[in-house]
Amino acid sequence: MRQFEFERRHAPLWRDFEGWLERRKMRRKRGKEIDGDGLRADQVPATFRAICSHLALARDRQYSPFLVDHLNQLVLAGHQVLYGASTSWFSAPWRFLAVEFPRTLRAERQLFWLAALLFFGPFIGISVAIQFFPGLASLLLSPADMGRMESMYRPEADRLGMRESSTNVMMFGYYIWNNVRIGFQTFAGGILLGLGSIFFMLFNGLYIGAVLGYLQQIGLGPQIWSFVAAHSALELLAIVISGAAGLKLGAALLSPGRRSRRLALTENAKIALKLMLGAALMFVAAAVVEAFFSPLNLPNPLPKYVIGIFLWLLLAAYFWRAGRSRAA
């Protein structure tokens, strides 16, 4: 059944259920029953079960995300009223982190892998190329950049990646600002038909790769790898997810399908914002690690590498399994 016919056939039932929910809400506020046409009390359970079935069908038939989200909101609201689902302040953030964010990323895995290719391709390519052609670093890094990097990652430094006058709290603020800037540019650039997101992913991949490649080439590899190991999974994956969110915006404008571009952008933006919110939380977590743990110039950097590997594996398992039903 086409989506248009599906909506035409069942929309009256959905409106009746929405009306019943609204009357229940008004009754709680005013403390008395609100008159109105629509569902009788004895019809509500069967109607709720029918809407649950409609939601399952809409997902299975891959109807528009806007319709699926609308039915999902109806089911959540109905479940809350009928079965007393928890409405604590913690439940919504927990559900987002435990279910919605990883589930949304898996649903958009094609855009994620495209974004990963656009970012990690130049990142790995330039860092390896500089080992054979050192002059390439000067195409992306200014002499001032090179001098600053050499000073921040010298072997005798008490704190890696920091100037002498900087404190951990100051660096935390800087990393928050820098991460938010990169994430926002990569995400918002998607509105330019996706070209902005592509540009910022390529540019950041090249720049970060050039820094790592240059420091490795001049003999400061142990210091820079020790510095980035612990927070690399959080920060680099957040950049890729921001890029995927931006590409989702661009896809609405380039390929809206049978939808108008305005509707496609509205629907895709809801998905992209979920990805961006998750990426923002990862950027904050990365800034905490980068400011307070990564700068430690440990005699034995093994703990940093262990934590880094653990976080890569943890995030891989999280995005692969979190939010799946038991039958999945």
Helix (H, G, I), strand (E, B) or coil at 327: coil
Is residue 142 within 8 Å of 266, Cβ to Cβ?
Answer: no
Position 327 scores a pLDDT of 41
3-state secondary structure 16-39: HHHHHHHHHHHHHHHCCCCCCCCC
User: What pLDDT, in 10s, does the model give residues 112-147?
Assistant: 999 999 999 999 999 999 999 999 999 999 999 999
Residues 117, 64: Cα–Cα separation, whole Å = 27
**Residue 275, class by beta-carbon neighbours within 10 Å (0-12 exposed, 13-18 middle, 19+ buried)?**
buried
Cβ neighbour number for residue 323 with a 10 Å cutoff: 19
pLDDT at 237 over 60: yes
Helix (H, G, I), strand (E, B) or coil at 296: strand
Q: What's the rounded mean pLDDT across residues 26-47?
A: 69
Distant-in-sequence, close-in-space partners of 143: CB < 8 Å, separation ≥ 6: none
Highest mean pLDDT among 15-24, 38-47, 80-89, 190-199: 190-199
Is residue 150 within 8 Å of 218, Cβ to Cβ?
Answer: yes
Cβ neighbour number for residue 169 with a 10 Å cutoff: 10
Please report, for residues 63, 108, 227, 252, the alpha-carbon distance to residue 258 in angstroms, rounded to integers and kept in the order given: 12, 19, 49, 11
Q: What's the rounded mean pLDDT across residues 235-241?
A: 97
pLDDT at 163 over 80: no
pLDDT at 328 over 50: no
Nearest Cα to Cα of residue 180 among 131, 239, 253, 99: 239
Q: pTM score, two decimals?
A: 0.76
For helices 232-254 and 109-132, give the axis angle rounded to 10 degrees: 120
Position 181 scores a pLDDT of 93
Mean pLDDT of the chain: 88
Confidence band for 203, pLDDT divided at 50, 70 and 90 = very high
263 or 164, which is more confident? 263
Output DSSP code: residue 164.
T
Confidence band for 325, pLDDT divided at 50, 70 and 90 = low
Confidence band for 257, pLDDT divided at 50, 70 and 90 = confident
Of 17-31, 38-52, 112-126, 199-213, the range with the lowest mean pLDDT is: 17-31
pLDDT at 89 over 60: no
Residues 135, 214: Cα–Cα separation, whole Å = 9
pLDDT at 35 over 80: no
Residues 230, 310: Cα–Cα separation, whole Å = 9
pLDDT at 259 over 80: no
Highest mean pLDDT among 38-52, 71-85, 212-226, 260-274: 212-226
Distant-in-sequence, close-in-space partners of 36: CB < 8 Å, separation ≥ 6: 19, 23
Distant-in-sequence, close-in-space partners of 322: CB < 8 Å, separation ≥ 6: 98, 99, 101, 102, 103
Of 26-35, 231-240, 284-293, the range with the lowest mean pLDDT is: 26-35
Position 288 scores a pLDDT of 94
Is residue 124 within 8 Å of 209, Cβ to Cβ?
Answer: yes
Helix (H, G, I), strand (E, B) or coil at 64: coil
Position 34 scores a pLDDT of 46
Bridge partners of residue 296, in order along the sequence: 159
